Amino acid sequence: MTWLFEYGRYAVQIFLVMAGYLAAQSLSRYANIKFSAHRLLKTILNRYLRLFAPYAAALIVTIACAYIARFWVNDEFVGESETLSQFLAHLFFIQGILGLDSISAGAWYIAIDWQLYSVLAILLISFPQYQAVIWVISVLAVSSLLFFNRSGLYEAYFIYFIGSYSLGVLAYLAKCFDNQNVNRLAKIALLLIGLIIAISSFQQIWLRNFLAWFVAMALLYWGDKPYPTKEGPRSVLNAIAWGSQRSYCAFLIHFALILLANTLYIATGLHTHESGALAIALILGVVGCSTIAANYLYRWIEAPALRLKI
């Protein structure tokens, strides 16, 4: 558990790099289209609507589970009773900016994701010359990796996370964008950023920067590889597709199940046994229940809400 507490959060770097890669894939379709402020605003608002419905539903479920948990669990992760202003701040993704406690463990990531996507949309839609955009993104990446990401003061803002996110964007532009000049420049930017990360490690080694860069390089070489449709077993591909559709809902709803599992663990006195096997069984139970809950959240909320577009 100590190892997970120290290093488990490094997985966020992988999320961010892949999110940047996929966001660039989505937004690069506007590359050769004349700038339109209306299109830019519509893109940003549609991203908000894409995130909103299952997020709001999961917040309500989490509030209900936290209310139950407080009868038995007196721990920091449960938090104080939620307020209306706190809930509204979460709905507009500004709880971190306002310094409010998070209702759910993953709420901060949703807010940051929307900030990062909005900034990237402004860059990729507003400036058709992607060569200039690459330099802007590279400067933001280096500034974040070497300065902003090393201070907790900026955790509520996109600048704290845009270093890893930008590496994913550059990996996509270097590999998949339909312009060789852009490909070449993005590759040069990736190599230069890697060199800067290596040089900065002489002062202090930041493993998460190296991890983010290596994930970006992996995407550069293998990010556009299709799944094997003939060689691979079809059931595995179906499982990946099924899980991919429901992964966002699983991310949103799992904290509510963690609250209930801890309530069960303490309220029934199971914690007095101090059994590692029992604790692991409860963890696996949470994973299974989260998967089931995510399936229903996807079918009842997220899938119908996909029609909410401007």
Q: What is the pLDDT along the chain (310 residues), one digit of tens a residue?
A: 889 888 888 999 999 999 999 999 999 999 888 889 999 999 999 999 999 999 999 999 999 999 999 999 888 888 889 999 999 999 999 999 999 999 998 899 999 999 999 999 999 999 878 999 999 999 999 999 999 999 999 999 999 999 999 999 999 999 999 999 999 999 999 999 999 999 999 988 899 999 999 999 999 999 988 877 766 677 888 899 999 999 999 999 999 999 999 999 999 998 888 888 998 999 999 999 999 999 999 999 999 999 999 9
Segment 205-250, tens digit of pLDDT: 899 999 999 999 999 999 988 877 766 677 888 899 999 999 999 9
> What pLDDT was estimated at residue 236?
85
Distance CA 150, CA 95 (A): 21
> What pLDDT was estimated at residue 137?
97
> What pLDDT was estimated at residue 63?
96
- Burial track 233-246 (b if 16+ CB lie within 10 A, e otherwise): eeeeeeeeeeeeeb
> What pLDDT was estimated at residue 231?
62
Question: Domain extents for the chain?
Answer: 16-229
DSSP assignment of the chain: -HHHHHHGGGHHHHHHHHHHHHHHHHHGGGTTS---HHHHHHHHHHHHHHHHHHHHHHHHHHHHHHHHHTTT---TTT-SPP-HHHHHHHHTT-TTTTTPPPSSTTHHHHHHHHHHHHHHHHHHHH-S-HHHHHHHHHHHHHHHHHTGGG-GGGTTSHHHHHHHHHHHHHHHHHHTSS-HHHHHHHHHHHHHHHHHHHHHTTT---HHHHHHHHHHHHHHHHTTPPPPSSSS-HHHHHHHHHHHHHHHHHHHHHHHHHHHHHHHHHHTTGGGG--HHHHHHHHHHHHHHHHHHHHHHIIIIIHHHTT---
Tokens representing residue 210 in the block: 């190296």
> What pLDDT was estimated at residue 199?
96
Alpha carbon of 28 to those of 47, 127, 177, 290: distances in Å? 15, 11, 8, 34
Distance CA 190, CA 217 (A): 8
> What pLDDT was estimated at residue 165?
98
Tell the residue number behind the tokens 């966020």, with chain if given.
Answer: 12
> What pLDDT was estimated at residue 73?
87
